[in-house]
Structure formats: C-alpha cells, structure tokens
A and B are shown apart, each in its own frame.
Chain A
Amino acid sequence: MKIAIASGKGGTGKTTLSTNLASFIAESRECVLSDLDVEEPNSGLFIKAELIHEEDKFKMIPEWEKSKCELCGNCQAVCNFNAVLKMGKMIMVFPELCHGCYACSELCPTDSLPMKQKKMGELKFYKKGNLNFIESKLIIGEEQAVPLIKQTIDYVDEKFGEDVIKIFDSPPGTSCPVIEATKDADFVILVTEPTPFGLHDLKLAVETVKQMEKPFGVVINRHGIGNDGVEMYCREDNIDIIARIPNDRLIAEIYSRGELLYSTIPSVKEAVKSISNYVDKFNSQKKRETK
C-alpha cells in the first residue's frame, strides 16, 4: 500500500503530516516513510532514527572519447536538449542539460560517447523499531529532481513488499517532480490550508490527481484561519475531507523545534488516527475488489 502526501502549495504541512502519520502507524506495525522532496527534504529533521545504510545516487551522462571520434556531429543532431555540442574539433557535453536519454551515445557510429555515472545525490536509510525512513537529497546545482525521485522509489520497492504501508512525502507543485512522486501511489492525500492561496493551489492539485486517475482525499491543516472556501469546494465536488488539524501557535512552536506532535497534541493524534483508519478502510476495500 503506497500513500503519497502531496499539496499544490508549499508549506501547508506535508512533512508534518507524513512524519506524524508514519510514526503513529509504526507504533503498531511496520511502516516506511520516504522523503521524495529531494530538493528540500525536511522529514529527516523530525525522525530520530539510526542510520543503517547510505549510498550515492547517479545519473548517466555521455562522456566524449576523442580517440575514435570522426566528428560527424550526429550526437549534436540527435540531442533535443542542446546538451551535446560540436565545437570545432571538440564535442562538448553539458551535464546539467542532459536528460540521460542515451540517444547520442547509442546512435554514435564510433561509440565515442559512452554513458558514465555522474553523482546527483545521496540516499540514506534510517531505522527505528517498526519505522523505516528513507530520504534522498539532490546535490545543489543539479536541476533535475525526477531521476533521483524515481531511483528512491525503486529503492523502497526493492526493499519492502507490497503489504508494508509506505508513505511518500512528495514535493510541492503540480509539475514533473510531483507526477513522478505520486504516479505509483494507491492513494493520494492532499494537504491544504483554508486560505485563498491554499484553495487555489488545492484545485490545481486536484486537477493533477484526477488526470492521473488516483483516488484521493483532503486534509485541512491550520483549520480555523482563513475562510470556508476549501470546505465549500470539497463539499461541492464530493471530495472527502479526511481530517482537520487546528491552527494553533503551540503546534507551530513544537514544529519549529523539529519535534513530532501527535504524542503531545491530542488534536493531531486524533487526526493521524482518523487518517490511518481511513487508509486501512480504503486498503481492505481495494483488496476485496481485486479478489
């Protein structure tokens, strides 16, 4: 069972929800939390666990080998990203523009552009009791988050079977990194805040998950501020509001210190409990349907 926690707008509480939900679930069974916001991963600040494994993550980029090259220029012609240029008697590769499609490399008549590994980030695997936490961090200056997100999901899939509950803390927005992070999910939780910005970006997020044909529900964070726009929108569009977390300065203060909330704030415990129940119900229903 894979649950992606996403939101259009940043800073609505994805990480707060992911870390508290995963830790709560791990009290009773095995659970995986994976931070896929590889540009700015924050879940690790809230999970105090033991580091049991780390590895570098690579993307593949072509590297020019001069000796056999006939300077035919085919590599430049087949690259749609302007990442390979023939300049005089040289072939130049711009790794930050390369999408790793292999076209220049495999279509080179003299095999002069073999693909080589280039480090793009680091993956770390932490463990504490039933909680497995896996995060990846993109190297600053690397522009493409998608390949690292993909490799992180692959790592989680390899290590854990389908029965284990997996929670993916996704990047904000609605563009390619979010699609990558949510496309394998069985269920998407959209976290929003009841403000005009929250509503506007929630609508974009809903459009995105609908296009991907994913079942989803909404969690309203900072409930009590703003207005009732989000509530009305969800009611009109028949979107389930799974839980509401109240706006509370104390919550913000505990969060600011990098601490989990559910053990000290009853309303947060209530919220993660109802989300956990909701997800379980969804899962057993799905299992019945596939049978």
Chain B
Amino acid sequence: MKEIVVISGKGGTGKTSITASLAYIGGEDLIIADCDVDAADMHLLMDPDFGKAEDFFSGELSLIDQDACIKCGKCQDVCRYDAIPIIDSQYIVDPLGCEGCGYCARVCPTDAITNSQPNVGKCFVSNIRTGSTMVHARLSIGADNSGKLVAKVKKDAKAIAEEQKKIAVLVDGSPGVGCPVVSSLSGASFVILVTEPTVSGLHDLRRVYELVKKFGIKAGCIINKADLNKEVSDDIKIFLKEEDIVLLSEIPYNVKFTEAMTNGKTIVEYDKELGNIISESWEKIKAIEGL
C-alpha cells in the first residue's frame, strides 16, 4: 500500500483543491487523510458525514490547586515558557503558554500542581461522496500537538486502507517546514509538491524540498498558475531538473480553479480542460508508483 502526500511549503498554491481532485479521480481506490489539521478545508469539497468522531488527547497541561498553594513562586521560577503569571495574587497556569513539561509540578513543595492530558482536538472518520473514506481532524485553538494529531490521522487512514485493501492513502499535508509537515512526510512513498511561479512559491518550494530530501522520498511537482510568470516558471523547471523531480503538470492561471471551490466542487468535476491536466498528473503518478 502506497502513501502519497501533497505538500506545498507556501500556502494558497492550490494544494487542497488539487488533492480533492485527485481524491475524486481515485474514487474508491483511495483512502483520504486531511493532515492540514490547522486549517482543514478538504471536507468542504468532500461532503463528509462525520460518521465517527473521537476526542484527541495529547501532551500535558499543568493545573495549580489554589487551596494547596503556599505561593512560594518556585513554579514560576522554573517555568521557561513564562506560562505561570500571577493573576489576582494567585499563581495561574496559562494554558496557551504551557508546554506541558511538568517541571513546575516536580518542584512544588506542597504537591499543589497536577498534570492532565488536555483534549487538543477531534478526529473524524467519514464516508465521503467519492464513495470512499476520509480521516480528518480539527485541532483545538492554540493547541500544541498538531504533529501528533497529524500522526494519528495518518495512522488511522493507513489502518483503514490496509483493512479494505485499497491501493493508496492520499494525504493533504500542512504548510511550512515544521513539526506537522515532518509528521505528514514520515512514511510517505511519493510526494506531490504543488507550487506557483512566484518568487515566494519558488523560495518555499526549495525549502520544503530540502526537508523532503532528508527523508529521501521520491517527488513530483505540479506548477499551478503556470503562465503567471514565465521567467519564474522556467526557474522552477530548472530546479526540478537539477533535483530530479518529475514535472507532473502545469495548470494555467484560471478563475475556474477558484470558482470550482466556491461551488463546492473539485476542479475535475467543474472544468474539463483543467480537469484533464490533473487527470494526466494522476496517470503519471500511477505509472511511477506502479498503482
């Protein structure tokens, strides 16, 4: 079973719209995992039934029992995150600042501090309109454990794919190069890099590919809005050649791309010409991965 991950480094390049289109083309053959847990949007195009919901607990959060606290201030002294301010002459843990290291609880002379595992999000397994299943999540505001939630979404999606003998899991990854992306990439068999010919797009593509290289994963690239800037488009293609990344397709700048999303449709359903380009990309990926 293969694991195909779509990432972009830069946000707003069309990553989710393209992933949704691939999900539509792949239909029942694929299990979908939306690992962009910070700003998960894929469900807006997939009509999920939120069939199974599960709370996700991770990390730790400290809490000070005010009755037992003798206000010695040791907890505040050892906290490296400035997460224990004094509010109304009480030492209070700021849940947004607390990283859950538990150091404060270990130095408290009266054992007034306890740690609990906070609910940092919700994980869903849904039937979607492509006839398949999607695992997706909703991270709580300001939560710390997006990397772990990504890992959970992927693990669940993989288990379902294996059980139902699907050919692959298709993963919508997160932006950036930090922990959620690292989590999205681990275990992937193929990476689709979605980029755009802007100086920011190329800059972010280079950075995120440096990360992909560390994992040693094979990659292909889709250039969206390809005709927006020919010069940068050419620079991207030179970069792809240098790094031995397959150019999967070039999608022209077209308002229909956004229109499709506005209408709750994938691009392949909404526009034949753009749809064909994405279908060709999928055929190339299938050939490379032997699907």
Contact = CB atoms under 8 A, between A and B. Distances in A.
Given A42-B203, A103-B102, A196 B177 contact: no
A195 B176 contact: no
Interface stretch (B141-149, B158-166, B237-245): B141-149
A5 B200 CA distance: 17
Interface in A228-262: 249, 252-253, 255-258
Interface string A176-201: 11110001000000000001110011
B155 interface: no
Contacts of A80: 59-60, 100-102
Contacts of A175: 38, 139, 142-144, 146, 180
A73 interface: no
A144 B174 CA distance: 14
Contacts of A172: 11, 38-39, 175-176
Interface stretch (B25-33, B84-92, B257-265): B257-265
B54 to A, nearest CB: 19
A174 B139 contact: yes
A225 B254 CA distance: 11
Interface stretch (A9-17, A63-71, A155-163): A9-17
Contacts of B262: 195-196, 225-227
Nearest to A43: B200
Interface stretch (A26-34, A205-213, A270-278, A281-289): A205-213
Interface size bucket, B side? 35 or more
Interface in B196-229: 196-201, 203-204, 207-208, 210-211, 214, 225, 228-229
Contacts of B12: 9-12
Interface of B: 9-13, 16, 38-39, 41, 44, 59-60, 78, 80-81, 96, 99-103, 106, 139, 141-144, 146-147, 174-180, 182, 196-201, 203-204, 207-208, 210-211, 214, 225, 228-229, 231-232, 253, 255, 258-259, 261-262, 264
7 contacts: A40-B203, A78-B106, A179-B142, A195-B258, A201-B39, A225-B259, A249-B253
Question: Top 10 nearest A-B pairs by Cβ distance?
Answer: A11-B12, A10-B11, A101-B101, A173-B38, A39-B176, A258-B199, A11-B11, A256-B229, A256-B198, A143-B179
Interface of A: 8-12, 15, 37, 39-40, 42, 45, 78, 80-81, 99-103, 106-107, 138, 140-145, 171-179, 183, 195-197, 200-201, 204, 207-208, 211-212, 222, 225-227, 249, 252-253, 255-258
